[in-house]
Structure 1
Amino acid sequence: MPRLKRLLPALLLIGALICSATLWFVRELNAPIAHAHAEEYVVIPRGSTSRQIATQLAALGILRRWWPAYLYMRVIRARPKAGEYRFPSPITPLEVVRKLEEGEQRLNRFTVIEGWTRWDIADAMARLPELKIDPQEALALMDDTSLIKDLDPEAQNLEGYLYPDTYSFPPNIKPRDIIATMVRRFRQVWFERFAERARARGQSVHEVVTIASLIETEAKLDGERPLVASVIYNRLQRNMPLGIDSTVIYAAKLAGKWRGDGKVRQSDIERPSPYNTRQALGLPPGPVASPGARSIEAALNPATTNYLYYVREPTRDDGAHNFYDNEADFLRGVQALREWERQRRAQP
């Protein structure tokens, strides 16, 4: 007993030190650390040990000290993964270790804009140095319709089925895989939101997406999409040419004659092509752009109107249109737009 009494203070001191060290260690692992590398990728090489990783991150200031994170990884038997990491600021050592266990890879972003054609998408892909592809090679990949043939046996290429969205992908992805991802995204959206309604209306995927692509290229305002859809359906019902400029432009691109300056010339209007709806009756043979969900929605739920025409409203700069149910009013609208354009050109 006397010996135990002599040892008790020492044991209490050791216990207090252990408790203090444990509390400090826990606080250290949970203390947020601000650093200057939040917008950068940190490469953890393959084969790096826990100590090497902790030392590397401490040198960057992501960890205040290397050894608490290292000890913690040893205690829990963590298996940090090689990869390219972004560590937000501030971040705790505990969160750092969790990220290292989960693994992370640099992701690039690729955005397809609503209304883009396959030419636009191919050009955007060619601007990504990681893909090492030119526009013509990308376009050739878009001629493979195997990913969509079950939905649209008529498809000659993937126009209309490269869904507009922002995609994240690793740097070593193949161009073919990016294209496949866009098509899979279309299929996901179609089956989740639109397939049943198209079936109920007796419309094929091909017809809906083609009409939606016309709406996408014509309507700039969400509220006008159902109105533009109504004009398309009304003109089809009356066997009137659709007269949509985006199809004229598409026909010019197919012929290799589009100048890319936004101007539709008389030679474009007169070009014989099934896509030129100034000349050909009915819908074009296929989509002329990538429609988003709002345009697909409008194609399946058009407004009920008698409208047959529309023309841009000259006093607004948001792409608004005026809609008409007779040719005389439409021609007056066209004249008003031409006069506004003439006055604008005449301004110094």
Structure 2
Amino acid sequence: MQTSPDHSWGFSLDGISWLYYFSMTFLRAVLAIVLVCMLSAGYFLYGKWQALSEPRGLRQQVVTIAIPRGATFEDTLALLSREGIISDILSLRVYLKLTNSAPIVQAGSYQFNSPITPLGAIEVLRGGAHSDKITILEGWNRFDIARAMRAVPALKLRTDTEALPLLNDISLISDIDPLARNLEGYLYPDTYFIVERMTPKEVVKGMVTRFRKVWKEHLADQAYQRKASIHEVVTVASLIETEAKLEAERPRVASVVYNRLSKGMPLGIDSTIVYASKIDGKWRNNGKVYQSDIDRRSPYNTRIFKGLPPGPVGSPGLSSLKAALNPESTTYLYYVRNPYQDNGAHNFYSSAAEFENGVAMLRNWEKKQANAPASTPSPAVTSSPAPTSSASAPIAVPAPGGLLRPAQPAYVRDPLGVSSQSHPAATKPKPATPTKPVNKPAAQAAKPSPRPTRVAQSQKRRNSQVQKKSTKTSSASTRRRRR
């Protein structure tokens, strides 16, 4: 029986189905089209990438662009396009989106050097604005800050004192310190950038805002738990800042402060004397404390008046603020510069006798250094970072007349709960009994026989009277024997 061919799927040509042939041909065509599209897209993207990496000449050798405050990244791209720095915003935007590398733009001035690529322009934005800046060092007071602001051209201040009224604007801190007389102590030490058209008032506000942020993040909870007044904490911290160069010593210096508070001992920190002279416009700014400075009748003069000064005398850093809230537990009452360490370290003492021994050691070292050859290096003890060295003088400073006076911490109500006398600003301060210099003037020291003291003179008179009485008794006995 003969079978007929199957014609259900068309006819066959040499055993190959026309439908299969057509399908394969169509598939090849589609693949070819896709390949061409991919090659075209790749070539297009490669061209765009090349454009992003191709240097572009600018209208000037250096083009300066000012990015205003509040401008977004899209605003910045549009500004760069208008200035001819970027030609294809879309390609750059797609690239940054795919790579997730869009920079955070800061307000300020940016400099673009010709020629520059679009990606190079993005790197300039990522590098930050070229703006004026002001750096406030730890321990600086408002007079120092006013001078630093004067040195910033963008602020356009004409004198060193023109910014002082802004630094006295207590409305910026009246909610946290109603006792403040000015912004002293609340101008946080840091570096501040001056963007275009920023005013001196905005700079000062930025310093206070920085202090508020640091206080809230690191200190507010401790101060609340210990019922500490921010006014007294900042004031004590400003004194610690001027006394201790080493961060590790600041809690120990704080312990000396509070130990003397509890004993009612008066202050003697030279930075308060310098501050009092600056307020009165009498500071000579030569690094020396004169007798007229020591005798100045000012509540800031802690050698005359007991208690803390009416407010801070400088800008304390975070470590000094922490030390004011977390003093070490010690019995120390004195400290003197350690002459055998060149890092500003101190020796601490609990008694006056120990302190005098420390002073003698320092005197002996100074004498040896004075007699040593010029080639012998001596330890260089630097003060806390401040414009004037005397504002941060070591705890033991030679006073006029040769007496080494210990800087004695203030006597105030202890922020940690130790009760004491009232603030000198609230009540009339009592002057502390001045200490007379121990060393005599050179003219008197050169005399071969020094004048006897009153005690020696009294003893000599008593010995003379006893000798006369003994002579009279002996004479009377002799006369009786003769009879």
State the TM-score, normalizing by the size of structure 1: 0.80
Does the 8 Å CA contact 2:267/2:306 hold for their aligned counterparts?
Answer: yes
Q: Distance in 2 between matches of 1:51 and 1:109?
A: 24
**Cα gap change, 1:250/1:41 in structure 2, threshold over 3 Å: closer, same or farther?**
farther
1:326 corresponds to: 351
Instruction: Work out whether 1:113 is the aligned partner of 2:132.
Output: no
Does the 8 A contact of 2:172 with 2:205 survive in 1? yes
1:18 aligns with 2:43: no
SS in 1 for 2:185: coil
Percent same amino acid at aligned positions?
49
**Higher-helix-fraction structure:** 1
1:125 to 126, 149, 168: 149
Q: CA deviation at 1:257?
A: 1.8
Change (3 A) 1:200 1:12: closer
Structure 2 unaligned residues grouped into runs of 5+: 1-21, 69-74, 98-104, 375-483
Query: Is the 8 Å Cα contact of residues 223 and 230 (structure 2) preserved in structure 1?
Result: yes
Q: Distance in 2 between matches of 1:118 and 1:83?
A: 26
Q: Which of 271, 278, 281 is equivalent to 2:303?
A: 278
- Residue of 334, 341, 361 corresponding to 1:309: 334
Partner of 1:146: 171
Corresponding letter in the other structure for 2:259: N
1:72 to 53, 69, 91: 91
Query: Separation in 1 of the partners of 2:80 and 2:192?
Result: 33
Instruction: Kindly provide the amino acid, as one letter, of the partner of residue 207 in structure 2.
Output: M
Aligned 8 A contact 2:92 2:118 in 1: no
1:17 Cα deviation after fit: 5.1
Alpha carbons 1:29, 1:94 under 8 Å: kept:
no
| Residue identity matched to 1:119 | F
Measured after TM superposition, the shift of residue 148 of structure 1 is 0.4
Separation in 2 of the partners of 1:305 and 1:263?
32
Answering whether residue 256 of structure 2 is matched by residue 231 of structure 1, we say yes
Q: Is 1:255–2:280 an aligned residue pair?
A: yes
Instruction: Describe the shift of the 1:93–1:290 C-alpha distance in structure 2 as closer, same or farther (beyond 3 A).
Output: same
Structure-2 separation of matches of 1:201 and 1:284: 22
- Show the counterpart of 1:61: none
Distance 1:245 1:83 in 2: 41
Native 8 Å contact 1:41 1:106 kept in 2:
no
What is the one-letter code of the residue matched to 1:126?
Answer: R
**Residues 1:94 and 1:297: Cα distance change in structure 2 (over 3 Å):** same
Deviates more, 1:298-307 or 1:164-173: 164-173
Instruction: Give the superposition deviation at 1:145.
Output: 0.4
2:47 alignment partner AA: F
For residues 9 and 194 of structure 1, do their structure 2 counterparts lie closer, same or farther at Cα, with a shift above 3 Å needed?
A: closer
CA deviation after TM superposition for structure 1 residue 171, in Å: 3.0
1:210 corresponds to which residue? 235
Output aligned runs, 1:184-223, within 5 Å: 184-223=209-248
The residue that corresponds to 1:62 in the other structure is: none
How far apart are 1:258 and its partner, in Å? 1.4
Q: How many correspondences in the alignment? A: 324
SS in 2 for 1:109: strand
After superposition, where does 1:32-71 map in structure 2 within 5 Å? 42-43=64-65, 53=81, 56-57=84-85, 69=88
Residue 172 of structure 1 deviates from its aligned partner by 1.4
- Secondary structure at the aligned position of 1:146 is classed as helix
Q: Any idea what SS the aligned residue of 2:187 has?
A: coil
Paired residue secondary structure (2:335): strand
Equivalent in the alignment of 1:60 = none
Are residues 1:155 and 2:180 paired? yes
- The equivalent residue for 1:240 is 265
- 1:335 maps to a residue whose letter is A
1:183 aligned to which of 187, 198, 208: 208
Structure 2 CA distance, aligned partners of 1:83 and 1:325? 54
Task: Give yes or no for contact 1:131–1:174 (8 Å, CA) kept in 2.
Answer: yes
The structure-2 alpha-carbon separation of the partners of 1:184 and 1:258, relative to structure 1 and needing over 3 Å to count, comes to same
Letter in 2 for 1:139: L
2:364 maps to what in 1? Answer: 339
CA contact (8 A) 1:44 1:53 kept: no
**Cα distance per residue 1:2-44 (max 9 Å; x no partner):** xx9xx999968963651342241354366598x9xxxx87427
Counterpart Cα distance in 1 of 2:319 and 2:313: 16
* Residue aligning to 2:195: 170
TM-score by length of 2: 0.59
Query: Structure 1 CA distance, aligned partners of 2:353 and 2:232?
Result: 31
Q: For the residues of structure 2 that align with 1:310 and 1:74, how far apart are their CA atoms?
A: 63
Q: Deviations over 1:290-346 (max 9, x none)?
A: 001100000000000111111111111211000011111112212222332333334
Distance 1:279 1:50, change over 3 A: closer
Say which one has the larger Rg. 2
Stretches of structure 1 lacking an aligned partner (at least 5 in a row): 58-65
Query: Within 1, Cα distance between the matches of 2:215 and 2:79?
Result: 49
AA partner of residue 176 (structure 1) = K
> Per-residue displacement from partner, 1:49-92 (whole Å, max 9, x unpaired)?
979849854xxxxxxxx76x45626989x9xx99733579xx97
Counterpart Cα distance in 1 of 2:198 and 2:79? 31
